[in-house]
Amino acid sequence: MSMRPMLLSLLLICSTCVGCLSDNSNPEGVTLIVHFEETNGTIVESYVDGNLDSTTGATIRFDFSNTVSENQLVAFGVDLSNDETDLVIHPNEGSIINVEFTEHGIHDLVAYAEDERGYRVHLPIVIRMDLRMDWTDTDTYNPSPLIIDPIPLNEGTSAASIFIDSTVENPNLIENIGGGRDVEITWRLVDQQEDACQNRDEVVSEGETVRWQTIHFNTFEIHELRVDYNEGQDLIDVHQTVIIQYPQLESVPNPEY
């Protein structure tokens, strides 16, 4: 009976090794070892005055240099599982494959090594990519709506939540002097049925800034984040960050061999 706790501990320790090695005692003579320091990242979209200005992807680096084989290796590869061509490199040319992600979601990849006989050893790897939208709309009486589309293009696992951080500023009408008036606004998070899922009213005094932070959990349809200008005469500036967050299902990184 005293051996049971020890056996259970060994099983738990072994279960944490997934993501580093594949078929360590492979009878075909190939031991696949893939090194990756990160298995998650954030894609950033920047919007200026309501228009998409830039998209910055996230890159994950896969290192196959410790993979060994009794036969000549002819390929290291990453199968992206999305109808795209595999990313492949010949071992004579290097052992690093960089994968850039420009779409948010949970991505199921398969790393593999292939020898001269055409035999392959595979290692499944799960990557999580969140999306951050940075939005500015300045000097306006009518801020553009920010469209939030949390649906992953790969039709995979749905996002877990949408985090919203929105600020509205009413700058001084005349610098260091003032002369403006209060502005009344309403934040509204609107679904595809034009229902306001969340809303908040605020008054922005001249020279002041108001802020709204909230989390929304309906990630199954497109929403619009609207800032309604209800009353006032001053131009306002809107700065917003929206983060589409996915459940933490990614593979465990292995920063050290």
Q: Are residues 225 and 195 in the same domain?
A: yes
Q: Give the pLDDT of residue 7.
A: 31
Q: Are residues 115 and 70 in the same domain?
A: yes
Q: Give the pLDDT of residue 176.
A: 47
Tokens 């509205």: give the residue: 168
Across-strand partners of 4? none
Q: Give the pLDDT of residue 1.
A: 40
pLDDT digits (tens, 9 = 90+) for 192-220: 999 999 999 999 999 999 999 999 999 99
pLDDT digits (tens, 9 = 90+) for 163-195: 999 999 999 876 645 567 999 999 999 999 999
Nearest to 190 by CA among 154, 160, 229, 221: 221
Structural domain span for residue 192: 141-245
Q: Give the pLDDT of residue 88.
A: 95
Q: Are residues 83 and 160 in the same domain?
A: no
The reply to whether 254 falls in a domain is no
| Residues 6+ positions from 82 with CB-CB distance below 8 Å | 107, 154
Q: Are residues 239 and 180 in the same domain?
A: yes
How many CA within 13 A on the CB side of residue 8?
5
Q: Are residues 70 and 181 in the same domain?
A: no
CATH number at residue 170: 2.60.120.260
Q: Give the pLDDT of residue 84.
A: 63
Q: Which of 129, 151, 179 is at the close of a domain? A: 129
Q: Are residues 19 and 91 in the same domain?
A: yes
The reply to whether 81 falls in a domain is yes
Q: Are residues 71 and 149 in the same domain?
A: no
Evaluate whether 124 touches 104 at the Cβ level (below 8 Å). Answer: no
How many CA within 13 A on the CB side of residue 62?
32
Q: Are residues 100 and 201 in the same domain?
A: no
Q: Which of 129, 163, 178 is at the close of a domain? A: 129
